[in-house]
Each structure stands twice: as structure tokens, then as C-alpha cells.
């Protein structure tokens, strides 16, 4: 399987604590699995028609890898890409990485409307269900 | 701050960027990584350097980038020497 690569970093977030944390930890590439499972599951109980917790978790992991976020940066379904320091180019890269991971094709008009992890997860599940024969890793 | 609406020109730039990443995807992994690095660097460089109100220059860069993307998609092209493409931030 081809590995995902982070081609460049871009931290243009507004001057907030989150921004400072991101800059300090920008060299870290580690990814933690399952750390936020608890909060993700509780979120699912609160949101009707939300994407599966598993999908939200996978999306979070990919976003974290694409943006080279530190493992301890907390992500929730409502996390906005822009709040994590992503510019519009980063968002394009995130959507492309999600396409490869879930073996789907995202229309550009849909891609331009994605601003949070929840929105990405919802769209992914919708697209996966439209392709019954598609294999998801 | 909420997500701002992308201008038409910004959408064209992101569409071009997306096209390059898609084209790179069909290449062997070493080529792909190099292409992605070159494309990303050029887009981000121009996002800093190009005045986003200089519409004529941006349109020129978009046309240039589109030609280079077409060349990249051609199987005859083995390597990618240089790309000058434009981008802009939301």
C-alpha cells in the first residue's frame, strides 16, 4: 500500500493558543490510535444521523497525519480544518488523502463544502454506500 | 471565523492543484513524491508572492499551469522539470 506523504507544512492559523501549540509541535509526526475513542463514542450518542464513530476516527487520523499534528492535539467531530492551521491547499490535500483511503471519488463541488471532520465523515459514508462493491481498507 | 466563500479564481486554482495531485497519483511512488513536493512548493510560493488582485497575471499562471498539467498527464512525459503555478488563500 502506498504511504501517505506530507509534502509541506503550512501553519497560518490566527494567533491563538492552538496555533502556538501547533507551531511548537510541528516536527512531530506521531499518530495515536484509539486515544479519542471515548469522546468520539459519546459524540455519536448526542448527534442524530452522525457518521459512524469508526469513520470519524479514521478521518481524524488522516487529518492529523496530513497536517502533521502532534499526537496530543485533541480532535473532535466538530474540529474545523482552518482552526487546525489548514489553508485551502491543505484542505485539498486532506480530501485527496481521504479519497485514497476510502477508495472513493469526491466531486469538487462537494470537496469545497467540507470544513470539519464531521462533514468529511458524513460525505465519505454517503459515497461509500453508493458503491456497494467498493472495498475499504 | 467562519469559512469564507471561495472566489471563482480561487476555485480554479484549487481545481488545478487537485488535478496535479491526481495526475501524480498514477506515477510510481518516487516520482509521485517528487511531483507532489514540486507542485506544493510552487503553489505555496505563489500564494505568498502573487498579488491576488493581479488578475491578469493569475490568469496567465492558470493557463500555464493547465498546459503543464496536460503534459504531466501524457504518458510520454517521464520527468517534471519545473512548474510555475499560482494559488491563493481563503
Q: Residue ranges of the domains in chain B?
A: 8-73
Task: Give the tens place of pLDDT for each residue, A72-128.
Answer: 888 889 898 999 999 999 999 999 999 988 989 898 888 878 889 989 999 998 898
Q: Work out the number of other CB atoms within 10 angstroms of the CB of residue B53.
A: 7
| The one catalytic residue among A87, A110, A122, A126 | A87
- Whether A43 and chain B come into contact, CB under 8 Å, resolves to no
Residue A31 resides in a domain: no
pLDDT the model gives residue B82: 54
At residue A49, does pLDDT exceed 90? Answer: no
- Whether A45 and chain B come into contact, CB under 8 Å, resolves to no
* A111: chain B residues, CB-CB within 8 Å: 18
Residue A13 resides in a domain: no
Residue A14 resides in a domain: no
Average pLDDT score over residue span A4-17: 44
Tell me, yes or no, if A87 is annotated catalytic. Answer: yes
Residue A95 resides in a domain: yes
Residue A68 resides in a domain: yes
Q: How confident is the model at residue A133 (pLDDT cuts 50, 70, 90)?
A: low
Task: Give the tens place of pLDDT for each residue, A25-46.
Answer: 444 444 444 444 444 444 444 4
Helix residue ranges, H only, chain A: 17-24, 37-46, 53-66, 88-102, 108-111, 117-129
Q: CATH no. for residue A118?
A: 1.10.1200.10
Query: What are the residue ranges in chain B where pLDDT is below 70?
Result: 1-5, 76-90
pLDDT the model gives residue B86: 56
- Please, what's the b/e burial string for A48-83 (b: 16 or more CB within 10 A of its CB; e: otherwise)? eebbebebbbbbbbbbbbbbbbbeebebebebebbb
Domain span at residue A111?
A: 51-128
pLDDT the model gives residue A25: 44
Domain count, chain A: 1
Q: How confident is the model at residue A47 (pLDDT cuts 50, 70, 90)?
A: very low
pLDDT the model gives residue B5: 57
Task: Give the tens place of pLDDT for each residue, B53-66.
Answer: 898 899 899 989 99
Residue A7 resides in a domain: no
Amino acid at each position: 500500500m502506498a504511504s501517505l506523504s506530507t509534502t509541506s507544512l503550512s501553519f497560518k492559523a490566527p494567533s491563538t493558543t492552538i496555533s502556538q501549540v501547533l507551531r511548537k509541535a510541528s516536527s512531530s509526526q506521531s499518530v495515536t490510535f484509539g486515544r479519542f475513542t471515548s469522546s468520539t463514542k459519546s459524540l455519536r450518542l448526542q448527534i442524530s444521523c452522525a457518521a459512524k464513530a469508526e469513520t470519524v476516527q479514521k478521518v481524524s487520523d488522516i487529518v492529523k497525519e496530513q497536517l502533521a499534528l502532534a499526537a496530543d492535539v485533541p480532535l473532535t467531530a466538530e474540529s474545523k480544518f482552518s482552526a487546525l492551521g489548514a489553508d485551502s491547499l491543505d484542505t485539498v490535500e486532506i480530501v485527496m488523502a481521504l479519497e485514497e483511503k476510502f477508495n472513493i471519488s469526491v466531486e469538487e463541488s462537494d470537496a469545497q463544502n467540507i470544513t470539519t471532520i464531521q462533514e468529511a465523515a458524513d460525505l465519505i459514508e454517503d459515497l461509500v454506500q453508493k458503491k456497494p462493491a467498493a472495498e475499504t481498507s | 471565523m467562519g469559512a469564507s466563500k471561495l472566489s471563482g479564481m480561487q476555485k480554479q486554482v484549487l481545481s488545478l492543484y487537485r488535478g496535479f495531485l491526481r495526475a501524480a497519483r498514477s506515477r510510481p511512488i518516487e516520482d509521485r513524491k517528487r511531483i507532489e513536493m514540486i507542485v506544493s512548493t510552487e503553489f505555496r510560493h505563489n500564494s505568498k508572492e502573487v498579488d491576488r488582485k493581479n488578475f491578469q497575471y493569475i490568469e496567465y499562471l492558470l493557463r500555464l499551469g493547465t498546459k503543464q498539467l496536460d503534459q504531466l498527464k501524457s504518458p510520454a512525459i517521464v520527468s517534471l522539470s519545473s512548474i510555475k503555478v499560482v494559488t491563493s488563500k481563503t
